[in-house]
Homo-oligomer: A and B are copies of this chain.
């Protein structure tokens, strides 16, 4: 069997980086020849995690086809979130926890998705099913990914399985997950040192919604005022991104990870489906979204419905 690359989505978050490392480790234990790579540099939170567990950042690739015939996707499946030449390689495996959209293959494949809080939780189950032991360092990385995706088990995407897996991984890694988790999340909210463009690029995904290309960025903070004070600059950065990349609409979900509330900044058109999705009118290009912390569960589904209405 020839070598395959394993990677998460563009603008990688902690789960995208860690899930690739974890699944590559598992597949290699099961006899495959894989390398975990990434479609971008680690963000500050992920860098904190890698430093904490003394783990190197994965190699960043621009294209897959020059290196391999076949790839394994983790934490995503939608082609526009994947490597730029995804159409030129065969996808042999997918492990994910998102909706399925625009993903097509010519051949049967291994596809494992579950509606859990984190892709690393699904991969934990694969380790158990295959009776492969999780090393302490990898357990620490996977624990970090689940804390990141579930905002320390507080996001509505969190399931009982995520909670149980976090506890088991914390035990294997010998980490006090609550103390460590808060420290880790705060490391990802150091906004002052970054430009608005960097911030809306760090955790952003594109969605094709009934003919419109909608970009949804999430910016985590411990103080929403810190984001809203820079609103004009965020809007200018989003407008530039729309023009440069052909996005119709740019949504910036600014989320307070301490009290689980968000403000949504809306740049571009159409705005009517966004207002319809949340049942509110834009004021100063913003919607206040109390209790909303999950792009996947609380933003994309109502948007999809509103665009298709």
Contacts and interface: CB of A to CB of B under 8 A. Distances in A.
Nearest to A300: B106
A110 B122 CA distance: 11
A114 interface: yes
- Interface size bracket, A side: 20 to 34
Contacts of A105: 99-101
A297 B106 CA distance: 10
Contacts of A111: 100, 111-114
Nearest to A106: B304
A288 to B, nearest CB: 24
Nearest to A128: B129
A128 to B, nearest CB: 9
A109 B115 contact: yes
A291 interface: no
A117 to B, nearest CB: 10
Contacts of A115: 107-110
A109 B99 contact: yes
A98 B108 CA distance: 5
Given A112-B112, A114-B110, A100 B98 contact: no
B110 A99 contact: no
A215 interface: no
Q: How many copies does the complex hold?
A: 2
Interface string A87-100: 00000000001111
A108 B103 CA distance: 14
Given A100-B105, A104-B101, A105-B101, A113 B114 contact: no
A102 interface: yes
A305 interface: yes
A96 to B, nearest CB: 8
Interface string A280-305: 00000000000000001100110011
A108 B113 contact: yes
A108 B117 CA distance: 10
A106 B305 contact: yes
Contact of A100 (B109, B112, B114): B109
B108 A97 contact: yes
Interface in A52-89: none
Interface string A239-250: 000000000000
A32 to B, nearest CB: 14
Contacts of A97: 108
Interface of A: 97-115, 129, 296-297, 300-301, 304-305
For the complex of A and B, the 6 pairs showing the least CB-CB separation, nearest first, are: A108-B115, A111-B113, A106-B304, A99-B105, A101-B104, A106-B301
7 contacts: A100-B103, A102-B104, A107-B115, A110-B115, A111-B113, A111-B114, A129-B129
